Structure 1
Amino acid sequence: MKQAFTFLTVFVTTCQLLFAQSTKKQTDSLAHFDAYVQQAVRDWHVPGLTVTVVKEGKVLFKKGYGVRALRPASTAKTESVDTQTLFAMASTTKAMTAACLGMLVDEGKLRWDDPVVNYLPDFLFYDPAVTREVRVRDLLIHNTGVGNADVLWAAMQIPSDEILRRMRLIKPSYSLRSGFIYQNIMYLAAGKVLEKVSGMPWEVFIRTRLFEPLGMQRTKALFKDVTDANRAKPHVEVNDTIRLVDSPTEEGLVDAIGPAGSVWTCPDDVAAWMQCMLDSGRYNGKTLLKPATWAELFKPQTLVTDGQFYPTQRLTKPVWKTYGLGWFQHDYRGHRVNFHTGSLTGMVAIHGQLPDRKLAVYVQGNLDHTEVRHALMYRAFDTFGGLGIDRDWSRDLKQLYGGIRQQAKQTERKIDSTRVMNTKPSLPMTAYVGTYTDPLYGKADVTLRNDKLYVTINSLSTGYLDHWHFDTFRLRYDQFWNGKDPVSFILDTQGKVIKLICGGMEFTKTPDVTNKAASGR
């Protein structure tokens, strides 16, 4: 009896020691990770950032860093980021839209391989054969043959139904299911399918069927509903200076394609979504998705080409790269990674998983395309995934993306070197003035201001045109975050201006009705 008691005492003491050691090790890991994030935020000059880590059904780490918005030094008010600060989810929204469609699949109201035309008969592609063949699944995996069409929401303000109507005007970049080009508009179409089947708008469905069951009380489906003062503001780096983008119009553009990227959330909310996606669509006793449907979301659906993947592949060196339903995927040190980034003007996010380790990390920031998000995701995998790696991802990725920026600057300098100096426009400035239109791209108005050409594109983007050479000008956007774009005027064989080309958009000059009437024509 005494022997048994002694054994039990030793056993309990040993367990206590092991538990204490494990707890100390975890505490040390969290402290080191926290310090690492703080240093990364400084190194990448990010105004504000949040990090949330979930493992084995529990929130392991969540914290806010920095400020919601950079303010002048004279402003005394401090706007610190905390775990309730709302940031844009941007394209990490896509996984939510796919999950919402999965709920309809579970209810037998929809099948992944149903023809889209069955639900959206007016949604037409350039090629009628593609219109007939595109399935619901295709809307989620970037393989419809349509290239990037973000101009339809980022360069104009038109209703979502009009965006879909204009898709019939876009020529394919490749044949159906023969390639992969990342595509936002198809997720808008997926949201419209959801609306048709469920009888409620996407933003209502996602709130009632996903946010509310998960207890995501602060999360908003659309930017227009983000009225809370505790939310991050976007920033961009211009000429090595970080500037605040204080433009509700710019931020609200994404609402037109809501299912592709309009959700706003915070660490206190998004942790529930992370746990749900790690645990077969279950959360806190609720089952949002059937196991088979949840598995379908993460099943590799199509291959992703090198050109459409992230520069991080130069360091992670994946053997394979795929896309599921709203998730990029690749191998990392023998483990599968499911992840997706999100990028809007001045805002970034990333949601990553190591599913076999029941580990997920979510990072949000308010600096345009700051790739510290990737660095912190891989660092979290290494730290909390038990991979035994101590790589300085922040340093390595900063070097990688710094090199990419330098290459971009070299390319810009090379373009600048092609300028033919001491040339003049072919015609007087007044000849370029007028209205230019296109059924796909909308309208551009060119006027004279202060003896210089001034352009307004779709009543959204504006700026002066500086003469470059011959009939090419350079547009300096009033919306500084858009930078610069070349603008070329095309003349016909009679020397009259007939077209304007800007940023890949081509507009045709409309006849001057006033002048025609005055001349009797």
Structure 2
Amino acid sequence: MIRLAVLAISPRLLWPLLGAFIGLVPAPAGADDAESSPATLLPAPIAPVPPLLDRQHVEAAVGRLDDVVEAAMAKTGIPGVAVAVVYRDEILYAKGFGLREIGQPALVDTDTVFMLASVSKPITSTILARLVGDELFDWDDPVRGHDPSFALSDPYVTENATFSDLLSHRSGLNTGAGDLLEDLGFDRETILSRLDQQPLDPFRSTYHYSNYGYTAGAVAAAKAAGEPFEDLAQRLLFEPLGMSRSSFRHADYLSHANRARIHVRVGDPAERRWEARYDRMPDAQAPAGGASGSILDLAQYLRLQLGAGTFEGEPIVGAGALATTHLPHIAGRLPADPTERAGFYGLGWNVGYDDLGRVTLGHSGAFVLGTSTAILLLPGEALGIAAVTNGEPIGVPEAIGSTFMDIAQHGEQTVDWLSFIGGFFAQMMAAERDGPDYAEPPARAAPPRTDDAYAGTYDNSYYGPLVVEADDGMLSMKLGPADAPKRFPLTPYDGDVFTFEPIGENAAPLSAVRFRSGGDGSANSVTLEFYDRAGLGTFHRN
């Protein structure tokens, strides 16, 4: 029986939660029915669940993987995929499929470098576990003790937020806090320095997926180590594991000739085609989403995880510190009724339990601009799968992983995972697009004032200055870092309301710019609807 809580969440929260789909796979054939099995009546885990799979089960599923991947590619047209399976410290399968770039002949292979997006998070928590194991700091240390610049809007949270709080998304920062600054081109230091203006939900009792809360924790760890985070990753993890094609620097990804370009779907829904339209530069949030690497590199990483921190007989990460990352730290998904299972977030991992009480670990990664990835683990079976793609998130890597686990446990696929998970993605993306439609102005739209009424500089402590300019009868606004602001044309909509097209990973359809006038007829403030999600989007004329 598959139990799934209905999630009313933003797609930005969807990507990590989908990494836990492994926990939805029913009990293996031959096991007692989930409704009556004693294992399902006990709080899990009371004791380790004995392994239920053997090499024959796993190898049979591996033998079906080519067909699983090729069917997913045929149905979706996604350009490139790479998959690896690790079982009992052995890489049983590693293979690339399709194209690095649509329209180009170069093929994906096991050395092709992909952007990993939020699969970066469990990699980062593993690096921090290494430092915890080396006793440089403890998971429950307040981060401000290691990074005095860390600050949030509540002084108590500022002083008491720990590494565990930030890496489990329970600081109170809202989902996406800081992401819109990144879309505008602001750097990591600037974004982190402005988090103290973000409103907070209750500390340690609310779960909100925050890339920059997570990044703040990694930055504090790097400061404790006296070394840039990107260098720590190379020295403490990538080099010991032989992950020679992995990095947290986007320039390193771009330097590889054998890399997968990211792709989005364009055109009408009935005739969509894939196109390598964008680059996505995630250096500002690198610990949360900026890693890149090959499928062979990820296979080595899975060996470390399933080996409790040991790799080829050598201890790399302290077993206790690593195990802490796998524990539930907060409920990320609460069941709608008692027949459903809750989902939890650890430190960089979605943590769940299947019908037999086995721990499941997973994480998805996605950039709407063109990449999707997933890793799924059954630690008690010493089994893991990684799947990476160079296409926008539509559920392909999650479906490949869940289908593989389904076949390993049942001998056959029992659920159409691609349709199930793909439909879930489509539902969440449609919900994100819901909102005011500014495509056409009202039938009786009022004309705008003269350009001089709007032109000028407006201040905002979070986003920085907004400059509205008039040029040949056209208004535009400039917003972003002083050395490289982004320019947005403004289109009259209705009186003092204009529209503009947002940019970046979190971009949405047309949004509104609402000017408000003072007593002299000129605008004295303006609110950018798209940038006002947390109430920070109003600018005042200086």
Deviations 1:91-112, CA, capped at 9 Å, x for gaps? 1111122112212221222111
Q: Is 1:453 matched up with 2:453? A: no
Q: Is 1:210 matched up with 2:241? A: no
Q: 2:494 aligns with which of 455, 469, 483?
A: 469
Q: 1:258 aligns with which of 262, 286, 299?
A: 286
Q: Structure 2 counterpart of 1:269, which letter? A: D
Question: What is the CA distance between 1:51 and its match in structure 2?
Answer: 1.4
CA–CA distance in structure 1, aligned partners of residues 299 and 328 of structure 2: 24
Q: Is 1:274 matched up with 2:302? A: yes
Q: Which residue of 1 aligns with 2:167?
A: 140
Question: What is the CA distance between 1:60 and its match in structure 2?
Answer: 1.9
Structure-2 change in CA distance of 1:388 and 1:35 (3 Å): closer
Q: Is 1:390 matched up with 2:390? A: no
CA–CA distance in structure 2, aligned partners of residues 177 and 372 of structure 1: 33
CA–CA distance in structure 2, aligned partners of residues 133 and 336 of structure 1: 30
CA–CA distance in structure 1, aligned partners of residues 121 and 114 of structure 2: 16
Q: Which residue of 1 aligns with 2:365?
A: 342
- Aligned residues of 1:485 and 1:502 also touching (Cα < 8 A): no
Q: Is 1:329 matched up with 2:351? A: yes
User: Which region of structure 1 is more displaced relative to structure 2, 385-394 or 97-106?
Assistant: 385-394
Query: 5+ unaligned residues in a row in structure 2: which ranges?
Result: 1-53
Structure-2 change in CA distance of 1:151 and 1:408 (3 Å): closer
Q: Which residue of 2 aligns with 1:102?
A: 129
Query: How does the TM-score come out when normalised to structure 2?
Result: 0.80
Deviations 1:189-210, CA, capped at 9 Å, x for gaps? 1222222221111111110110
Q: Which residue of 2 aligns with 1:17?
A: none
- Aligned residues of 1:328 and 1:340 also touching (Cα < 8 A): yes
Question: What is the CA distance between 1:479 and its match in structure 2?
Answer: 6.9
User: Which region of structure 1 is more displaced relative to structure 2, 328-337 or 212-221?
Assistant: 328-337
Structure-2 change in CA distance of 1:136 and 1:69 (3 Å): same
CA RMSD, 1 decimal = 2.7
Question: What is the CA distance between 1:69 and its match in structure 2?
Answer: 1.6
Q: Is 1:508 matched up with 2:525? A: no
- Aligned residues of 1:354 and 1:385 also touching (Cα < 8 A): no
Higher RCO structure, 1 or 2 (CA under 8 Å, sep 6+): 2
- Aligned residues of 1:318 and 1:332 also touching (Cα < 8 A): no
* Structure 2 counterpart SS, 1:171: coil
Deviations 1:35-72, CA, capped at 9 Å, x for gaps? 1211111212212121111112111222212211223x
CA–CA distance in structure 2, aligned partners of residues 441 and 109 of structure 1: 35
CA–CA distance in structure 2, aligned partners of residues 479 and 338 of structure 1: 30
Structure-2 change in CA distance of 1:234 and 1:461 (3 Å): farther
Structure-2 change in CA distance of 1:346 and 1:117 (3 Å): same
Q: Which residue of 2 aligns with 1:52?
A: 84
Q: Structure 1 counterpart of 2:421, which letter? A: L
Superposed, which structure 2 residues align to 1:218-257 within 5 Å?
218-226=245-253, 227-240=255-268, 241-242=272-273, 244-248=275-279, 251-252=280-281, 254-257=282-285
Question: What is the CA distance between 1:452 and its match in structure 2?
Answer: 3.0
- Aligned residues of 1:441 and 1:507 also touching (Cα < 8 A): no
Structure-2 change in CA distance of 1:129 and 1:424 (3 Å): same
CA–CA distance in structure 2, aligned partners of residues 450 and 392 of structure 1: 56
Deviations 1:440-479, CA, capped at 9 Å, x for gaps? 1123333345633233331454443333333333223577
Question: What is the CA distance between 1:434 and its match in structure 2?
Answer: 2.8
Question: What is the CA distance between 1:128 and its match in structure 2?
Answer: 0.9
Q: Give identity over the alignment, percent.
A: 25
Query: 5+ unaligned residues in a row in structure 1: which ranges?
Result: 1-21, 72-76, 307-312, 512-521
Name the structure where helix makes up a greater proportion of residues.
Answer: 1
CA–CA distance in structure 2, aligned partners of residues 449 and 82 of structure 1: 50
Q: Which residue of 2 aligns with 1:292?
A: 320
Structure-2 change in CA distance of 1:110 and 1:405 (3 Å): closer
* Structure 1 counterpart SS, 2:64: helix
CA–CA distance in structure 2, aligned partners of residues 463 and 503 of structure 1: 13
Structure-2 change in CA distance of 1:99 and 1:420 (3 Å): same
Question: What is the CA distance between 1:180 and its match in structure 2?
Answer: 0.4
Deviations 1:277-296, CA, capped at 9 Å, x for gaps? 01101111111122222211
Deviations 1:132-178, CA, capped at 9 Å, x for gaps? 11112111110111113133543233332222211111121x12112
Structure ID, larger Rg: 1
CA–CA distance in structure 2, aligned partners of residues 163 and 480 of structure 1: 16
How many residues are treated as equivalent by the alignment? 471
Q: Structure 1 counterpart of 2:458, which letter? A: Y
Structure-2 change in CA distance of 1:386 and 1:354 (3 Å): farther
Deviations 1:285-315, CA, capped at 9 Å, x for gaps? 1111222222111011111135xxxxxx99x
Q: Structure 1 counterpart of 2:310, which letter? A: R
